[in-house]
Structure 1
Amino acid sequence: MTQTTDNPFFRPWTTPFGIAPFGDIRIEDYRPAFERALADQRAEIDAITANSETPTFANTIDALETSGHALDRLCGVFFNLAGSDATDAIQAIQREMAPVLAQHGNAITLDHRLFARVKALYDQRDSLTLTGEQKRVLEKTYKNFVRGGAALDEAGKVEMRRITERLATLGTAFSQNVLKDESTWTLDLAEADVTGLPDFLKNALAQAAKDRGREGYVMTLGRSMVEPFLTLSPRRDLRETIFKAWVKRGEMGGESDNTAIVAETIKLRVERAKLLGYPTFAAFKLDETMAKTPEAVRALLEKVWSRAVVRAGEERLALAEVAREEGMNEPIQPWDWRYYAEKVRQRRYAIDEAALKPYFQLDRMIEAAFDVATRLFGVTFRRREDVPVYHPDVRAYEMLRDGTPVGLFLGDYYARSTKRSGAWMSAFRSQEKLSGDVLPIIVNVMNFAKPPEGKPALLSFDDARTLFHEFGHGLHGLLSNVTYPLLSGTSVARDFVEFPSQLYEHWLERPEVLSRFAIHAETGEAMPQALIDKLIAARTFNQGFATVEYVSSALVDLAFHSLSDADGIDPIAFEAAELKRIGMPDGLVMRHRTPHFAHVFSGDGYSAGYYSYMWSEVLDADGFAAFEETGDPFDPKLAQRLGAFVYSAGNSRDPMEAYVAFRGREPDPEALLVKRGLATAA
C-alpha cells in the first residue's frame, strides 16, 4: 500500500491548469487511489440519502453533481492512459477495476433512497423555480436513473447488477484483445518488398523496424501504414497478406479471440433491454437519441445504401478495366480496391497520393485547425512546454480568449504499440461551473506514422481530415460553457455528438485554408490553386466504396441489436448472413468487422449507434451549406450562433432545438446525398 503522502492522487495538483503530475504517478498508486476515491463518493452519496430535510434541487441534484470529484480526476488519468499508453500493468488494473466500477455505479443508480429524492423533484419539476439548464439536468438525471434500473423491483435490480458488471468486464477484455492483435502482429519486409513505394511510406516502415530493434522494414496493423500500403504497393501478394490480417483482428484464435465475447455481449444486452421493458437493445438505446427508433435509423441507412451499392458497382467496373490493362484479369478483391482506385483517381484528376502527401505536414495541419478556430470562435492557441504530459510525443497548448486561458488542449499524434488504433477525443477534465470555474483539459489521440528523426510527419488528405474531425470534437469540449457536469461538452445525444466534429472537417477543404497551410515539405511552396481545384473536384471520388464500407458496418450493428433473442448466436455467421441479406457487393468488406468493432463492443458507446456518423452527416452537410449560402465560410453572425448553440452549449437543450437555433430550420436530408456525390444539387 502506497503511503498517503506519497500518492499524487491524495494531494492537490499545483501543476499548470491542475493537470496530473504524470511523472510522479507510479503504477502502485492506482489501486489505493481507486479505493479512497470510491469510498469518498460512497460517503458523499450516503450524506445525500441520510439528509432528513425535504429534497431540494440544491441538497439532491447539486449534491449529486458535485460528488465523486476525486474519482473523476482519477478516472480521467487512468482511462486515458489505458487507451493511449496501455502497459501490461495498466491493463491488469483495468481488468480488475472494470467490474468494481460497474458495481459502484450500480450502487448509486439502484439506491432506492437516492432515487426517491430524485423522483420527488422530477414529479414536481413544473412547480419548481428552475433555470432552463437546471430543468434539463433534473430530467436527464431522472431518466438516467430509470434507464439504469432504479425503478425495477429488487429481483430486477439484482439482474441489472449482474448484467452491467459482466458487460463491463467483457468490454474491457474486447478492447484489450484488439490491442493485443494489433500490437503483436508484424510482417518483416525486405528491400525488394518495398520497391516502388514512396519515401514517406518506406520511412514509416523503416521506423517501425527500428522501434522494434529490427533491421529493414516492418509492417504493423496500424491504419496509418496499412491503408497507404494497400493503396500504393504493386505487390498483390503482400497486399493480400496484410489485408487479411487487418480484417482478422479479434478473430485470430487463442486468448485474444473476441468471438465468444461478442456473443455473450449481445445476449446480455438483449436481457438488459427486456428487463427495462424494451423489445430490443436497439429500441432501448435509441430512445434517448435524435433518431428515437430503429425504424428511423434503418430508413436513413437503407436510403443511402441503395444508392451507394449502385455507385460502388460503377466504381468496380472502372477498377477492373484499369486492372485488365495492367494484366490483372482476376476479379477485384478487397486488397485490390484501394490500389486500383488510386490509379483511376490519378487518371481522372491527375492527383498522385505520393505527390500530394508532402503538402500535408502534421505541424501545418495543426496550425490550420487552430487558425480555423480563431477565425470562427475568436480563440487562440499557445504551446506550453511547462505542462506535464504522459508521453514525450504529447504536445500541450493552452486555448485563450482575449488573452485569458479557457482550456488546455493535448495532442497525441503518433502511433505506438501501447496505443489502441483509431483516433478519438477525450477529457482529462470536463468544463463546469458548479464547483467553481473549472477549465477543460481535452486530448486528441491519433495514430499517424512517426517520421524519422529530423523529418516532418506527412499526412494523407484523409489523415488531415481525421485531424480536423477530432479537433472538432476537441473544440466541443474546450468551448463548453455550462454549469452542470452532466451537460458538459460532448455529453450529448450519440447521434448529435458527431455533428460538431464532422462539420469542422469542411473547413479543411476550403481554398482559403489549403492555400495558407498546405505547404510542401521540401520546396516550401504553397499548394498550387490548380491542385487545390483538383483535390476539391475529387472529393466525391470512390464514395460508393467509402459509403458501402461504412453503411454495411452500421447495418450489421443495427441488426445485432435488433434481435429479441440472442441465445446461441454465432456472431461471425450472423455477420455473414446480414451482409448477404443486404447485398454486400463483391470486393468490399465492412469498415469495422464484428470481432474488432470497438465502437460497438468495447463498451456501450456506439452500440446500436454506429449510424450516428451518418445521422450527424445530414446535419453537417446541411449546416455547412448555411455558410456557403452566405458566401463567407467564416461568416461572423453564423459562426457566433454555431458557437453559442452548438459548441458551447453542451447538452443544455434538445439537440434538434440546438440545430434549429443555429441553422434557422431543421436539416434537409438531401444535403447528405449531395455531399457524398450520390445525388446532384437542386
Structure 2
Amino acid sequence: MNKNQFSLVLSASAISIALMTSGCSSQEEQKAEKPAKVAEVAEVEKVAVEANPLLKTWNTPFGAPPFAEIKTEHFMPAFKKAMAKHLAEVDAIVKSDSVPTFENTIEQLELSGSDLSRVARVFFNLTSTESNDEMQALQREISPMIARHTNAIQMNEALFAKVKTVFENLEKSNLNAEQIRLVKRLHNDAVRAGADLTGEDREKFAKINERISSLTTAFGQNMLNDSRNFKLVLEKTDLDGMSKSMIEAAAASAKEQGLEGKYLITLQRSSVEPFLQFSTRRDLREKAFKGWAMRGDNDNEFDNKAIVEEIVKLRAERAKLLGYKHHSDYVLSNTMASSPEAAMELLMKMWKPAVAQAEKEKAWIKEIMKEEGAKHELAAWDWRHYAEKVRKARFDLDQGEIAQYFELNNMIEAKFYVANKLFGLTFEERKDIPVYNPVVRVWEVKDAANNSIGLFFGDYYARSTKRSGAWMSSFRSQQKLAGDVKPLIINNMNLNKPAEGEATLMSYSDAVTLFHEFGHALHGLLSNVTYPTLAGTSVSRDWVEFPAQFYEHYIEQSSMLKKFARHYKTNEPMPDELIQRIKNAGTFNQGFATVEYTASALVDMAYHSMTEVDKIDVREFENKILSEYGKPDEIIMRHRSTHFSHIFAGGYSSAYYAYMWSEILDADGFNAFVEANDIFDKSTAKRLYDYVFSTGDTLNYGEAYVGFRGREPSTDALLEGRGFKASKTNTDKQAKGTSDVKTL
C-alpha cells in the first residue's frame, strides 16, 4: 500500500506548514483598483465558483465527490482558487497581532487549506485510477505548482516563528496530550521541511523540492505508460498450462484492447504472475518476465534510469542542507527504527536465513527439472513455474484448485465479518453514492451503536487507466476540529476482470492482499482524533503497516477458511484436507519471497545511504549491491529501480524495510489473540482499537504497542512465520501461516 502517496497535499495542516506565503501583493493590487472593478471581479469569481463542481458544496450523501459533474478542465481553476484561498488563510494567521497560542496558530493552521485538500484528494486519486493523456499532462503541470505553493509556506519565517513560539511554551500550556503531540509534530515537520534554513540554502531547498515533485510525477507516469506499451498477444495454440479462469481473463483483456479472438497477457501482477506460474511455454514466459522486469528500463521515451539518478542526487543534497549525513539518516530519524543501522540490522537478520532457504528451494526445483528431463539451466523466468511443480509434488497443492475457493464477493464478506467480530462494524452497500467508474462499489460503515462512521469504496479490477499494485487512500480523512467529519476511504486492487457473468476468482495471495488493504482502510475508518494531521494512517512508515499486516492473519485461520472459502460453483466449503494441505505448505517458497523483497529493501537503503552521489548506472548499481550480499542469480528484486514506485513515486524512500519492521509487530501482535484462545477475544480487540486502530498519530508508537500487547514485541513469531526457525509443534511442515508470498 502507498500509505499516503500525496500526504503533503492531502493534509490541510501539512499544507499549512508547508505552504506559507502571505499573498500580500495581490491584496495590495486589489486595493489600488476602483471599487466598481473590484465588484466586477468578485462577480466573475463568484460565477466561476458556482460553475465548478470542485468548488461547490457537494450535496451528495456523506458529501462524497460528485464525479459525474467533474471534468478534467475543472481541476486547474479549482487548484488555483483553492491555493489562493489557502494563502489568504495563512496570511491571516501571520498578520494577527495576538500572541501566538495553540488556538490562534495551530488550530487555525489545521483548519486552513481544506478546499485545496479536497480538490487534491479527488485529483490524485483519479490520476491513479482513471489516468489518460490529458490527466497526465495536467498532473505534470499541477505537481510543480503544488511544490511551489508548499515551498512558499515552508519558507514563511513569520509563520514558523509563531509555530516555534507555541512549541517553546508547551511546558507552560494547559494543552491535552493530543494537542501537545500535534504541536510537536507540526514543529518537527516544519524543521524537517527547511523552515530553519536561511539565505541560499532556503532557495536551494525550495528548488530541490520542486524538482523532485516533477521527477516523481514523471517516474510514475513513465512506469504506467511503459507497462501499457507491453502486450503479449497469444493465440489458442499458446495457452498450454493456463487455467480456464486465466484464459477467460486473457480473452477479456484482449477484447478490451480490440484484439477479438486473441488472448492478452499484461504487466499487471494479476495477469503476468499466474502466467509465469502455469504457462508451459518457456519462450513466452521469458518474454513476459523480461517485459515485467524491464519496466521503465527500455531506453525509450518512458525510461526512468536518468530520473532515478537525479532523484537520488537531489535527496542526498536536501538531507545535507538539513544537517543529516544522507537521505536515509534524514528519513529514519523520524521513525520507530530511528536509524539506518537499526533498519539494516533487521534486514540482515532476515537476509541470511532467506538466502539459505532459497538455496534449498532451488535444489528442490532442480530435482523436478532433472526428473522432467529439462535441458536448460534454471532462469529467473522459470522459478515460479517450477516452484508450482514442487508445491504440487511435496504438498499435493495446486494453486488452480485453491483459486476455485477464493471468490471475490465471499472474500469481501469475510473481511467485513472480521471487522464486525473485532470492532462491531456493519457494512451496508449503497447504490446512491457517486463513483468515478461503474466497477467501484461503496458501503456505508456503521459502529456497534448503529452510528455511521464513514464510507468505504472498493475498486478491485485492473484496467489500462489504473496504476499497478494495491493501495488504500482517501477522499476525506476523519477529524473533529471542523465538526464531526467522517472519513471516505478507498481500497484499490488490480484483479483480472472476468468475462461477463463469470465469477471473480482470486489467488490465495490476492486474498491476503485484500485483507491487508482493508486493514489500512479500517485504520482510516476507525480513526477517532480531533486534528486532521494526526488522523488515521498519517503515521510513521514502520507503524502504518502494522494494522494492515495484522489483519492478514485472519484469512489464514482454519475457521475463516471453512466459513468463507467456498467453491465458486457449488458453494461447498473448502474441505478440511485441503485446508490442512494449505497449512502444510504455509511457508513454502518463503526463501524466494523474502529474498526478492529484501533485495529491493537493500537497494533502497544503498541508494539513500550515499553521502556523495556522482554518476549512477542503475543496472550496474543494483548488480553490485546485490552481488555483494550474495543474492541468488535466479531471483531478481521484487521491484527493480526503474519501476520501484514505492521509493521513487511514493513515500517509502529509505523506508521499504518498514513492511518487515511492521511484520515483527503483526506476528507478535496476533499472538495476543492466540494466547487468549480466541481470535476475536473482546478484551484484546478493545485494546487493539484503543491503542492502534483509533489513535492515528496521537500516541508514541512504542508505548501504543505496549499498551495493546502488554510488553515490547518479539521477533520470534516473525522468523517462525517465514519458516526460518523451527516451529515447536511441527519442524517439517511449518504449520503456522498459509501465504506463499507475503504481501509487501
TM-score strictly above 0.5: yes
Q: Deviations over 1:377-421 (max 9, x none)?
A: 100101000000010110000110122210100000000000000
Letter in 2 for 1:166: R
For 2:87, the equivalent position in structure 1 comes to 42
Contact 1:423/1:446 (8 A) holds in 2 = yes
The alignment partner of 2:635 has SS state of coil
1:90 corresponds, among 129, 132, 135, to 135
Residue 134 (structure 1) aligned with residue 179 (structure 2): yes
- What TM-score do the two structures reach when normalised by structure 2? 0.91
Instruction: Give the alignment of 1:315-464 within 5 angstroms.
Output: 315-401=361-447, 402-464=449-511
Q: Deviations over 1:131-163 (max 9, x none)?
A: 100000000000000000000112111011010
Q: CA deviation at 1:113?
A: 0.3
1:585 corresponds, among 632, 637, 659, to 632
2:235 corresponds, among 190, 195, 213, to 190
The alignment partner of 1:239 has SS state of helix
Letter in 1 for 2:529: V
Residue 555 (structure 1) aligned with residue 610 (structure 2): no
1:70 corresponds, among 109, 115, 134, to 115
1:217 corresponds, among 263, 269, 275, to 263
Letter in 2 for 1:537: N
Letter in 2 for 1:173: A
For 2:390 and 2:618, how far apart are their aligned partners in 1?
Answer: 36
For 1:357 and 1:87, how far apart are their aligned partners in 2?
Answer: 33
- What TM-score do the two structures reach when normalised by structure 1? 0.99
Letter in 1 for 2:372: E
Q: CA deviation at 1:49?
A: 0.2
Contact 1:412/1:446 (8 A) holds in 2 = yes
Letter in 2 for 1:380: T
Which stretch of the first structure deviates more once superposed, 327-336 or 2-11?
A: 2-11
Letter in 1 for 2:304: N
For 1:240, the equivalent position in structure 2 comes to 286
The alignment partner of 1:71 has SS state of helix
For 2:60 and 2:509, how far apart are their aligned partners in 1?
Answer: 36
Q: CA deviation at 1:182?
A: 1.3
Q: CA deviation at 1:205?
A: 0.5
Runs of 4+ aligned residues of structure 1 deviating over 4 Å after TM superposition are: none
Identity %: 51
Q: Deviations over 1:45-70 (max 9, x none)?
A: 00000000000100000000000010
Residue 466 (structure 1) aligned with residue 513 (structure 2): yes
Letter in 2 for 1:257: D
For 2:176 and 2:125, how far apart are their aligned partners in 1?
Answer: 33
Q: Deviations over 1:502-542 (max 9, x none)?
A: 00000001112111111101121010111111112211110
For 2:275, the equivalent position in structure 1 comes to 229
Letter in 2 for 1:671: A
For 2:734, the equivalent position in structure 1 comes to none
For 2:565, the equivalent position in structure 1 comes to 518
Any gaps of 5 or more consecutive residues in structure 1? none
For 2:86 and 2:56, how far apart are their aligned partners in 1?
Answer: 16
1:114 corresponds, among 159, 173, 195, to 159
Q: CA deviation at 1:431?
A: 0.3
For 2:617 and 2:380, how far apart are their aligned partners in 1?
Answer: 24
Contact 1:434/1:483 (8 A) holds in 2 = yes
Contact 1:9/1:33 (8 A) holds in 2 = yes
1:14 corresponds, among 42, 52, 59, to 59
Letter in 1 for 2:50: T
Letter in 2 for 1:495: D
Q: Deviations over 1:591-649 (max 9, x none)?
A: 0000000000014x000000000000000010011111111111110011001110110
Q: CA deviation at 1:5?
A: 2.1
For 2:147, the equivalent position in structure 1 comes to 102
Contact 1:507/1:513 (8 A) holds in 2 = yes
Contact 1:543/1:676 (8 A) holds in 2 = yes
For 1:295, the equivalent position in structure 2 comes to 341
For 1:643, the equivalent position in structure 2 comes to 689
Any gaps of 5 or more consecutive residues in structure 2? 1-44, 729-744
Q: Deviations over 1:72-102 (max 9, x none)?
A: 1101100000111112111111100111101
Instruction: Give the alignment of 1:562-581 within 5 angstroms.
Output: 562-581=609-628
For 1:633 and 1:531, how far apart are their aligned partners in 2?
Answer: 22
1:307 corresponds, among 353, 378, 382, to 353
The alignment partner of 1:243 has SS state of helix
The alignment partner of 1:254 has SS state of coil
Contact 1:183/1:418 (8 A) holds in 2 = no
For 1:374 and 1:53, how far apart are their aligned partners in 2?
Answer: 48
Contact 1:301/1:555 (8 A) holds in 2 = yes
Q: Deviations over 1:631-671 (max 9, x none)?
A: 11111100110011101100001111111110001100122
Q: CA deviation at 1:678?
A: 0.5
For 1:172, the equivalent position in structure 2 comes to 217
Letter in 2 for 1:285: V
For 1:614, the equivalent position in structure 2 comes to 660
The alignment partner of 1:406 has SS state of strand
Residue 145 (structure 1) aligned with residue 190 (structure 2): yes
The alignment partner of 1:231 has SS state of helix
Letter in 2 for 1:59: N
Q: Deviations over 1:539-592 (max 9, x none)?
A: 111000000010010000000000001122222211111011111112100000
The alignment partner of 2:250 has SS state of helix
For 2:48 and 2:179, how far apart are their aligned partners in 1?
Answer: 41
For 1:53, the equivalent position in structure 2 comes to 98
The alignment partner of 2:404 has SS state of helix
For 2:375 and 2:655, how far apart are their aligned partners in 1?
Answer: 40
For 1:376 and 1:343, how far apart are their aligned partners in 2?
Answer: 38
Q: Deviations over 1:330-386 (max 9, x none)?
A: 321111111111111111221111111010001110110000000001001010000
Q: Deviations over 1:443-496 (max 9, x none)?
A: 000000000000110000000000000000000000000000010000111111
Which stretch of the first structure deviates more once superposed, 55-64 or 513-522?
A: 513-522
For 1:39 and 1:341, how far apart are their aligned partners in 2?
Answer: 57
Letter in 2 for 1:360: F
For 1:496, the equivalent position in structure 2 comes to 543
1:154 corresponds, among 160, 185, 199, to 199
Contact 1:115/1:150 (8 A) holds in 2 = yes
